[in-house]
Structure 1
Amino acid sequence: MSSFEEQDGVGIPDALQRLWTPHRMSYIAGETKPDSAGAPECPFCRLVALSDEDALIVARGDSVYAVLNLYPYNPGHLLILPYRHIADYTELTAAETVELAEFTQHAMRVGRAVSAPHGFNIGMNQGSIAGAGIAAHLHQHIVPRWGGDANFMPVVGHTKVLPQLLGETRQLLADAW
C-alpha cells in the first residue's frame, strides 16, 4: 500500500454500509425546487391536481390539505399546507390560519389513534436559510416521535428504518381522518 492510501484511507474498508439513493440527487441539488432557475412549477401546487393516493394526500380542507412527507423523518410524517402558493406564515388569511391549526390538531389525534406516538415535533422552517426544503410554499411539519426512534441505526448505521410503505401509511391516516 502506498503512503497516499495509508494517509487518506483510500482502499481501506471502513465497515460502513451504503444505501444508494440516486433519485434523491435532484432534490438535494435543488433542481425540482420552485425557486431554482428552470425548475418546474411548485411540487406542492402540482399535488392538488392528482388523486389523493398518487399525491399521498391524507385529507383536503377548504383552504389547506394534509400530505405525507415524501422523505419522512418518521412514519406518519405529515405536512399541512395551504392550497395558495405563499411562502410566509404572515401571508395566511385568518381562515387559512384557523384551518391550518385545526388540521394540525386533527393530525395529532389521528396519529395517536393510528400509531400511538409518544410525542410530536411540530414546526415550520421559514426560508431556505432556516432549513425549508421548499421555501416558496409554506408548509408545517407534524412528525410523530417514539422513545428510541433516534436509535443506533441513524447514529451508527447511518440508515433510517421506516417500517411501512408511504401508500400504506397514507391509507391508515386517511381512513382514520
Structure 2
Amino acid sequence: MAVVREPSDRSSGPEEQEGIGESDGFQRLWTPHRMAYIKGENKPTGPGEDDGCPFCEIPKGDDEDGLIIRRGAAVFAVLNLYPYNSGHLMVCPYRHVADYAELDDAEALELAQFTQRALAALRKASGAHGFNVGMNLGTVAGAGIAAHLHQHVVPRWGGDTNFMPVIGRTKVLPQLLRDTRALLAESWPQD
C-alpha cells in the first residue's frame, strides 16, 4: 500500500523521524512493496528450472495465489508482480525454455492465441487504448528472468505516461493484483 505525505510533513517515511531537517516541499509516495523487486527477491539462482524459476513454480499452485488468469495446454497467462501498468500480464510456456526459437509448433501457436485472447480480455475489462506486446530475449535485451521465455502484454491508455513515472519513477496502480486477476479471468474469451 502506498502512503502519500503532504509537503509540510517532515517525515521521510510512514513513521515520523525527528531531527531529519527542513522540508524540501516535495510530496512522497511510499511504495515499500517495490523493495522486493529492487532486491531481486524470488529471482532464480541459475538458469535451470530447478533453480527457483518462478514461471516453473507458479503453475504448481492455485490460480488465485499465483495470479494466473488462464491455463492452456502448453502456456498460461499470469499477471506481472511488478507491472508497468494495471493489467500488465505475461504469457508463458509451461516448458522451461529461454528462446522463442526453442518453442515447438503447438507452444508457439498457443502462445500466439493466448496473446490474442489477452488483448481481447484487456480491452473488455479495462478499455485499453493500445498495447505494448513483446519479449526480451536474454539478459542484455532486458529480460528480468532470461531463462524462461515470457511474452509481455502491457495495456496502454492515452496520458498513462505522466510525471509520476517520467520524473518520479513511480507507477500508481488503481487496483490490487488479485482484483485485476479476477476481472481479467472473468473477461477472458471463451475457448
Structure 2, unmatched stretches of 5+, are 1-20
Structure 1, unmatched stretches of 5+, are 1-10
Aligned residues: 167
Task: Indicate conservation of the 8 Å contact 2:88/2:153, yes or no.
Answer: yes
Q: Kindly, what percent of the aligned residue pairs are identical? A: 65
CA distance 1:16–1:104, shift in 2 (3 Å)? same
Normalised TM-score (structure 2)? 0.79
1:59 aligned to 60, 65, 70, which one? 70
Q: 1:90: which partner in 2?
A: 101
CA distance in 1: counterparts of 2:86 and 2:167, whole angstroms: 20
Deviations 1:63-111 (A, max 9, x none): 0000000011011101000000111111100000000000000100111
Task: Indicate conservation of the 8 Å contact 2:37/2:82, yes or no.
Answer: no
Task: Indicate conservation of the 8 Å contact 1:33/1:134, yes or no.
Answer: yes
Q: In structure 2, what residue type is equivalent to 1:27?
A: Y
2:82 aligned to 36, 46, 71, which one? 71
Task: Indicate conservation of the 8 Å contact 1:58/1:68, yes or no.
Answer: yes
User: SS of the counterpart of 2:60?
Assistant: coil
Q: 2:170: which partner in 1?
A: 159
Q: 2:148: which partner in 1?
A: 137
CA distance in 1: counterparts of 2:86 and 2:106, whole angstroms: 29
2:59 aligned to 35, 48, 51, which one? 48
CA distance in 1: counterparts of 2:130 and 2:117, whole angstroms: 14
1:27 aligns to 2:52 (yes or no): no
CA distance 1:75–1:26, shift in 2 (3 Å)? closer
Q: 2:136: which partner in 1?
A: 125
Task: Indicate conservation of the 8 Å contact 1:33/1:40, yes or no.
Answer: no
How far residue 16 of structure 1 moved from its aligned partner, in angstroms, is 4.2
How far residue 176 of structure 1 moved from its aligned partner, in angstroms, is 1.3
Q: In structure 2, what residue type is equivalent to 1:48?
A: P
User: SS of the counterpart of 2:73?
Assistant: coil
Name the one with the larger helix percent.
1
13-22 or 163-172, which deviates more: 13-22
CA distance in 2: counterparts of 1:172 and 1:31, whole angstroms: 27
1:110 aligned to 113, 117, 121, which one? 121
